[in-house]
Amino acid sequence: MPSHWDTRADLTVTSGRKVRYMLSADAVPQEGGIGATIENAVDVVFNPIATVLSDVVFAKVTIFGAQFPWIVAWLVAAGVALTLYFGFVQFRHPITAVKIARKGLGNGAPGEVTHFQALTAAVSGTVGLGNIAGVAIAVTIGGPGATFWMILAGLLMMAVKFAECTLGVKYREIGPGGKVSGGPMKYLAKGLAERGMAGVGKVLAGLTAAFILIFAVAGGNMFQANQTLEQLRTVTGGEEGLLGGSTGSFVFGVFLALLVGVVVIGGITSITKVTSKLVPSMTIVYVLACVVVIGMNIPMLPDAVGQIISGAFSPTGVAGGALGAMIIGFQRAAFSNEAGIGSSPIALATVKTNYPASAGLVAMLGPFLDTVVICTMTALTIVIASPQSWIAAREAAAAGEPLPGGVSLTSDAFGTVLPWFPYVLTVAVVLFALSTVITWSYYGLKGWTHLFGEGKRSERIYLVIYCVFLVIGSVLTLGAVLDMADALVFAAALFNIIGLYLLAPVVKKELARLLAHLRGEGEKEPAKADDKPEGPAEELVK
């Protein structure tokens, strides 16, 4: 996930021990001049708000002497509960999900894009710098064993993604011309209304729309522009190079805004045409680069796998021991794949289907690709290559000292193969950030139209604002605004997951309806939120 908090936070692993770090891709605020004046003025206004929100949303809970954000426990607990309730759906139907992603469910169904296109849009919104830099920090603080827990959490969160994206299609609205609007704003309002909680649903839907909109403009937009510029600046001569100075930043921002504007003005159809090509390409480039590093160090592979497994249960040099490794792994997975946040259902709601659960099955492939594949490849590459900078960083983490940037650790691992290989990493970072900006423009648009109404004029106003903030994000850092946006989008997970628990019986019946259709059985009645829960569902929704 494109989370600023995720990549610039204090990670408290044991009581009283904090490990501070800042990614090399984070922009450095301008020193002096009007830019610094503006940043200082904005920070003065937003710092108090951001501090209060962050203290609440990312507050730590303590278990057996180890601390971690309660929101992580909330997300992972949902993964466990929904995995059990849906009968381990992510392990029972992955082949069905792949088949639907490849072939869809036939022509003529309402919607705007194919299952595959919607999946690539959702994945492009989750895959970002955190998959590269965040994972590097995770295996530094939590050791190789954090990878094991990261994979486990990623698998559990597939059930959450399945549930929310099924509801995204179930309660979507299709307007004139076939334009679709879906996501938590729709299923919280309509689904809870069916359960006799219309007022609560309307409030939660409005808050979720506002939180997603704010994060789209800040975390999914400004921060991505900022980190992309910094990555390109490092390989073009730094401050003395082509992109050095405020002029270079402004020109880059304008170019990026024009590029994104051309893509997003065509709506979800135009966006998915880009992401359906960009996501597979950037994933293949990055994974192949990791495979090359692993292949060049193939004798070390068994030992690396052994470190990951043994480090999950008996790590050395990890604050908090096995529990510390587990917390770091869970945290990385929870902040990586966006399951439970409510963003992906906005994209998956647009699929051409008469069976909502088909979108849910396809959507659960997202956390697998994001966390189980890409994040794991990053971790395995670093552990196998074991660059000296990573070894030194682990010693620094154990001593509670500041760490180097996560991107630099991954870059050093790439550099163990060929001197120019870190440039491949730069290409991957830029592509990841670009895809995130494109997809989050659509998420923000749906939040905007929910709050301010549909219509071309309304949409054009939003897109202009979104592109302007791309330029602003290239020139200014506005750290307090980003901190506030991060806190708000994770607060949305609180509302969203409550909705998933209450509407879980609907999801279960939609899954049964889809599976009956695939088996060629008679058509079942579509589920409703006020249907009487069956079996364990009654306990789940109480």
Q: What does the pLDDT average to over 126-155?
A: 86
Which pair of structure tokens corresponds to residue 21?
């770090």
- Pick the residue with more confidence: 334 or 539? 334
What pLDDT, on a 0 to 100 scale, did the predictor assign at position 319?
Answer: 62
- Non-local CB neighbours of 326 within 8 Å, separated by 6+ positions: 142, 146, 149, 312
Q: For residue 11, what is the enclosing H or E element?
A: strand 10-14
- Non-local CB neighbours of 482 within 8 Å, separated by 6+ positions: 4, 5, 218, 219, 222, 223
- Pick the residue with more confidence: 363 or 483? 363
* Least reliable range by pLDDT among 250-254, 300-304, 371-375, 505-509: 250-254
Domains annotated on the chain, with CATH: 54-518 (1.20.1740.10)
- The CA radius of gyration of the chain, in Å to the nearest whole number, is 22
For residue range 448-501, list pLDDT tens digits in order: 999 998 888 998 999 999 988 888 877 776 666 667 777 877 888 888 999 999
What pLDDT, on a 0 to 100 scale, did the predictor assign at position 528?
Answer: 59
Which pair of structure tokens corresponds to residue 416?
């163990």
- Pick the residue with more confidence: 480 or 86? 86
- Give the count of beta carbons closer than 10 Å to the beta carbon of residue 403: 22
For residue range 48-84, list pLDDT tens digits in order: 877 888 888 888 887 666 677 888 888 889 999 999 9
Which of the four pLDDT bands, split at 50, 70 and 90, describes residue 261?
confident
What pLDDT, on a 0 to 100 scale, did the predictor assign at position 419?
Answer: 77
What pLDDT, on a 0 to 100 scale, did the predictor assign at position 2?
Answer: 60
- Pick the residue with more confidence: 209 or 241? 209
What pLDDT, on a 0 to 100 scale, did the predictor assign at position 8?
Answer: 42
Angle at 348 between CA 338 and CA 506, to 5 degrees: 90
* DSSP 8-state assignment for residue 196: T
* Least reliable range by pLDDT among 61-65, 289-293, 316-320: 316-320
- Pick the residue with more confidence: 426 or 20? 426
For residue range 167-210, list pLDDT tens digits in order: 999 999 988 777 888 999 999 999 999 999 999 999 999 999 99
Q: Above pLDDT 90, what percent of the chain?
A: 32
Which pair of structure tokens corresponds to residue 115?
């299952």
For residue range 427-444, list pLDDT tens digits in order: 887 888 888 888 898 999
Give 69's strand partners: 60
Give the whole-angstrom CA distance, residue 7 versus residue 23.
7
Residue 4 confidence (pLDDT) above 80: no
Which of the four pLDDT bands, split at 50, 70 and 90, describes residue 21?
very low
* DSSP 8-state assignment for residue 534: -
Give the whole-angstrom CA distance, residue 80 versus residue 353.
28
What pLDDT, on a 0 to 100 scale, did the predictor assign at position 160?
Answer: 95
- Non-local CB neighbours of 216 within 8 Å, separated by 6+ positions: 440, 441, 443, 444, 445, 447, 466
Residue 321 confidence (pLDDT) above 90: no
What mean pLDDT is reported for the chain?
81
Which of the four pLDDT bands, split at 50, 70 and 90, describes residue 531?
low
What pLDDT, on a 0 to 100 scale, did the predictor assign at position 422?
Answer: 73
- Pick the residue with more confidence: 429 or 100? 100
Q: Are 119 and 280 in contact (CB under 8 A)?
A: no
Distance of CA 500 to the CA centre of its chain: 18
Classify burial at 82, counting beta carbons within 10 Å of its beta carbon; exposed 0-12, middle 13-18, buried 19 or more: buried
Residue 10 confidence (pLDDT) above 70: no
Phi, psi of 404 (to 5 degrees): -75, 175
- Pick the residue with more confidence: 77 or 221? 77
* DSSP 8-state assignment for residue 533: P
Q: What does the pLDDT average to over 306-333?
A: 81
Kindly provide the b/e burial profile for residues 304-331, where b requires at least 16 CB atoms within 10 angstroms of the residue's own CB. bbebbeebbeebeebbbbbbbbbbbbbb
> Looking at this protein, which amino acid is placed at residue 18?
K
Looking at the chain, how many residues does it have? 542
What pLDDT, on a 0 to 100 scale, did the predictor assign at position 26?
Answer: 40
- Non-local CB neighbours of 297 within 8 Å, separated by 6+ positions: 384, 385, 416
Give the whole-angstrom CA distance, residue 106 versus residue 116.
13
* Least reliable range by pLDDT among 5-14, 39-48, 438-447: 5-14
In the block, tokens 């299952």 appear at: 115
For residue range 121-138, list pLDDT tens digits in order: 888 888 877 788 788 888
Residue 387 confidence (pLDDT) above 60: yes
Sheet architecture: strand order including 66-69: 17-20, 10-14, 66-69, 60-63
Classify burial at 113, counting beta carbons within 10 Å of its beta carbon; exposed 0-12, middle 13-18, buried 19 or more: buried
